[in-house]
Structure 1
């Protein structure tokens, strides 16, 4: 039995050994630490980007498209470290708002191509100073060198071969 239940409230509590295992997990789980930090930072960047009606994920998609030009959804998913389904969900409001266009590829009709529109570029241009302000505030608080080391460590995670989408 992994837990006990209070007779009065029905509230379950883990037994001591399981509670200790959970406490260790809380301090060691890389995914939990990364998710907590991501939510924290994302909230800050989302707040900064709100005046141009973009969320951090949308900003990053437009940024990638502005750099890449026309690209397939598969390639965009890879460079964004997103699965295709999540990316497709994030593309819909951007397409609806005219910030990007999605169409069948000329080379392979089964593939979908996505590209930023003029409206998307204009929105991105308004968003970059807001992003820069959030970036500067974070680096002032965290330290510029520490922020650079953090980004390097996070980029290193992406090349570990620990592929979550491998089949």
Structure 2
């Protein structure tokens, strides 16, 4: 019998991952609070800053989030003028997200705060261990599950 087959909470991969994710998310949220961003919002702005524009579905895929949750996360960013969400010129049914100048400015203001918490985590956890953690978590995304498939 494997530890996973016993039903013990301490053997649950999902619980372990979610506990660590909540812990780190709260740490990053606290660090980014002075610029009025949450970690997820920062990640969205960071991704859009690199891509210029993306469809909501493409952005959701890039961040491993379902489309509905992504659309909900974009609402406060659009309300605050950090992104725009417009119908695509090629297909009016598709919504395109773009970072605004204000969004770029907020991301630049947040970057030193993000860099600081990133460095503190890596100092505490270990630079090599953090790199291995990211690689392992990327591996999770390649396990073949399709949680948002319709």
5+ residue gaps, structure 2, are 1-5
Asked if 1:98 is matched to 2:50, the reply is no
Please name the residue that 1:50 is paired with: 33
Separation (CA, whole Å) in 2 of partners of 1:166 and 1:92: 23
Equivalent of 1:30 in 6, 10, 13? 13
Equivalent of 2:132 in 139, 149, 158? 149
- Secondary structure in 2 aligned to 1:33? helix
Please name the residue that 1:60 is paired with: 43
Tell me the C-alpha RMSD between the 2 structures. 0.9
Deviation at 1:49, TM superposition (A): 0.3
Moved over 2 A (4+): none
Asked if 1:136 is matched to 2:124, the reply is no
Deviation at 1:165, TM superposition (A): 1.2
String of CA shifts for 1:113-164, please: whole Å, max 9, x gaps. Answer: 0000000000000001100000000001100000000000001111221121
Separation (CA, whole Å) in 1 of partners of 2:134 and 2:53: 27
Separation (CA, whole Å) in 2 of partners of 1:99 and 1:93: 9
- Secondary structure in 1 aligned to 2:18? helix
Bigger Cα displacement from structure 2, 77-86 vs 157-166? 157-166
**TM-score, length-normalised on structure 1?**
0.85
Separation (CA, whole Å) in 2 of partners of 1:161 and 1:112: 27
5+ residue gaps, structure 1, are 1-20
- Secondary structure in 2 aligned to 1:106? coil
Separation (CA, whole Å) in 1 of partners of 2:14 and 2:52: 32
Please name the residue that 1:39 is paired with: 22
- Secondary structure in 2 aligned to 1:101? strand
- Secondary structure in 2 aligned to 1:135? helix
Separation (CA, whole Å) in 2 of partners of 1:156 and 1:68: 23
Please name the residue that 2:147 is paired with: 164
Please name the residue that 2:3 is paired with: none
Deviation at 1:166, TM superposition (A): 2.1
**TM-score, length-normalised on structure 2?**
0.94
